[in-house]
């Protein structure tokens, strides 16, 4: 069962059962952006309040599996109150963590180690990369956030 425990770490299940920053923000002024996971039909809506290049508030709604729900909850905790530059950095590091490298194509290939220090509790999601089909679940919220920032600028 070690693999499964890698994927469903306690902190992930905790975010899944008690998601942070769940809800809506009045839009406008908040930026509202929708994301879809075409593989499983999961949907997410992200609301962003940005003032002076700082993401002062973020809320999320939607439905999905434990990985997508936990990842969006952890993301919201990680980026709330951060400067947009820091938010973009977090997006980049997280997506790096979720990248399948060519070595994974070999039998028993191991994922390339990522720099986990900058990621804090998000590092708990690193087990997802061993389950390539689930990567899209973990990155849905992040891609949607990234889309929202692009729409803003």
Partner 1 sequence: MTSFDPRLVRHDIPLLERVINDHPITYLDSGATSLPPRAVIEAMSRYYELRHANVHRSVFQTASEATAAYEGARDATARFINAPGGAEEVVFTKNTTESFNLLAKSWGWANLHDGDVVLLSEMEHHANIVPWFQLREERGIDVRFIPVTDEFRLDLTNLDHLLNDVKLVSVTAMSNVLGTINPVKELAVAAHDVGALIAIDAAQSVAHGPTDVHDLDVDFVAFSGHKMLGPTGIGVFWTRELLLADMPPFLGGGGMIADVRLDGYTPASGPTRFEAGTPPIAEAVGLGAAIRYLDGLGMANVDKHEEELTRDALHRLEEQFAGRVRVIGPNNVTDRGAVISLDVEGVHAHDVAQVLDQFGVCVRPGHHCAKPLMRRFDLVATVRVSYGPYSLVQDTDVLLEALEHAIKMFG
Q: Give the footprint of partner 1 on this chain (CB under 8 A).
A: 1, 3-4, 7-8, 39-43, 63-67, 131, 134, 137
Distance CA 128, CA 135 (A): 6
Q: How far is the CB of 83 from partner 1 (least distance, A)?
A: 34
Q: Which is nearer to partner 1, 44 or 149 (CB)?
A: 44
User: Is the Cβ of residue 13 or residue 85 nearer to partner 1 in the bound state?
Assistant: 13
| Closer to partner 1 by Cβ: residue 6 or 121 | 6
| Nearest CB to partner 1, comparing residues 16 and 142 | 16
Return the structure tokens found at 141: 């919220």
Least Å distance, CB 23 to partner 1, is 20
Q: What is the dihedral of CA 136, 138, 140, 144, to 10 degrees?
A: -140
Contact 43, 61 (CB under 8 A): no
Give 127's strand partners. none
Distance CA 57, CA 54 (A): 9
CB 129, min distance to partner 1, A: 14
């Amino acid at each position: 069962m070690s693999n499964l425990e890698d994927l469903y770490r306690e902190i992930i299940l905790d975010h899944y059962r008690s998601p942070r920053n769940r809800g809506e923000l009045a839009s406008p002024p908040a930026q509202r952006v929708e994301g879809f996971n075409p593989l499983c039909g999961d949907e997410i809506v992200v609301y962003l309040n940005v003032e002076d290049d700082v993401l002062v508030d973020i809320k999320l709604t939607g439905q999905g599996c434990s990985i997508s729900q936990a990842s969006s909850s952890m993301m919201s905790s990680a980026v709330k109150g951060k400067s947009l530059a820091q938010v973009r950095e977090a997006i980049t590091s997280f997506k790096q963590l979720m990248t399948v490298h060519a070595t994974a194509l070999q039998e028993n290939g191991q994922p390339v180690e990522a720099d986990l220090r900058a990621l804090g509790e998000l590092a708990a999601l690193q087990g997802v990369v061993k389950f390539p089909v689930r990567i899209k679940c973990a990155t849905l919220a992040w891609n949607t956030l990234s889309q929202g920032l692009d729409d803003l600028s």
